[in-house]
Structure 1
Amino acid sequence: MARTSACIDLPAPADQVWDLIGGFDSLPDWLPFIPFSNLSEGARVRTLTTEDGGTVIERLEAFDNAQRSYSYSIIEAPFPVTGYRSTLAVHPNTDGTSRVEWSGEFTPVDVSDDEVVTLFNGIYTDGLVALAHTIDARHRTGQAAGS
């Protein structure tokens, strides 16, 4: 099983960041390469549409509002992996800012561990950079992170 993670420190309180990213259906609010999300099965399954028209279907596996984290698995996606499980979490820093961590584990299929780790590390890193841009834009316009 392969693993990777990425994290970023953001100049916003953890509760504000969680308000923005903590909804299982909220990816289109901060992740430009996922413009559409549709919930089903009692809000436990999300069908994501990528900017190039692809589809990714994911299942919510765990949700902890108090700890500001959720974990999900992939049901269907064009990625060369099985057993994919990922966690998105927001942690408060002592100075009132926050740290967001996106981590995942998976078993590569017909590709090397390094190839798939590079793929998902790029997705997580690019996603967190997009989140930072969203937080920055909201701060410049005077909106709270979850507004």
Structure 2
Amino acid sequence: MASVHREFLVDATPDQVWDVLADFGAVHERLAPGFVTDTRLDADTRTVTFAEGTVVAERLVDLDPVRRCVAYTVVGGSLHPSHHHAWMQALPEAGGTTRFVWHIDVLPEDLAAPITEFVDHGATVIRAALEAAVTRSPREGEPVHETAR
């Protein structure tokens, strides 16, 4: 089995990132706009259409607000792995930022190379979308600056 693992820092709080990550049916609007062009949710399975044409059905395995982790598995579509399990997690970092973790286990192993390219591009889009989407509120301990009108 092959694994693809990426981690990157996001200039947003873990709660802000989790708010987007937990919205399982809105990947195309909130988490990866442009990289994903459509998401349709039917019960616990979402059908995701990627910009380059790939369509996959992903079943929700776990949505854990305590760990801020979502896990899913590919169950159909134009990608045909014999096994595909993935999870994304928002972990707290110093200064109120977030470490975003994306991990995928896949079989057959020859799918690892194209999935790695896919994940690398997706991670860039996800980071930009998360940072653009958050409304920054003062972090704990930071002074609030108000402008007089």
- Tell me the equivalent position of 1:34: 36
Partner of 2:6: 6
Shift of 1:80: 4.7
Cα distance, 1:8 vs. partner?
0.7
1:9, CA displacement in angstroms?
A: 0.4
CA RMSD of aligned residues (A): 1.9
Q: Partner of 1:35: helix, strand, or coil? A: strand
Identity level (%): 22
Q: Which residue of 1 aligns with 2:71?
A: 71
Following superposition, the deviation at residue 131 of structure 1 comes to 1.6
Distance 2:59 2:83 in 1: 12
Q: How many residues align?
A: 135
Supply the AA of the counterpart residue of 2:124: V
Which AA in structure 2 matches 1:8?
F
Deviation at 1:68, TM superposition (A): 0.5
Moved over 4 A (4+): none
Q: Please say if residues 16 and 144 of structure 1, whose CA atoms lie closer than 8 Å, have aligned partners that are also in contact.
A: no
Q: Which runs of 5+ in 2 are unaligned?
A: 138-149
How big is each residue's C-alpha offset from its partner over 1:61-118, in whole Å with a ceiling of 9 and x where there is no partner? 111011111111101133352111000111011321001011011111xxxx3x4222
Structure 1 partner of 2:97: 97
Q: Is the 8 A contact 2:38 2:48 kept in 1?
A: yes
Gaps of 5+ in 1: none
Find the aligned partners of 1:74 and 1:14 in 2 and give their Cα distance: 26
Secondary structure at 1:79 match in 2: coil
Q: Following the alignment from structure 1 to structure 2, what is the Cα–Cα distance between the partners of residues 81 and 61?
A: 17
SS at match of 1:70: strand
1:9-88 residue pairs with structure 2 within 5 A?
Answer: 9-28=9-28, 29-31=30-32, 32-40=34-42, 42=43, 44-88=44-88
TM-score, scaled to structure 1 = 0.82
Which has the larger Rg? 2
Q: Is the 8 A contact 1:13 1:97 kept in 2?
A: yes
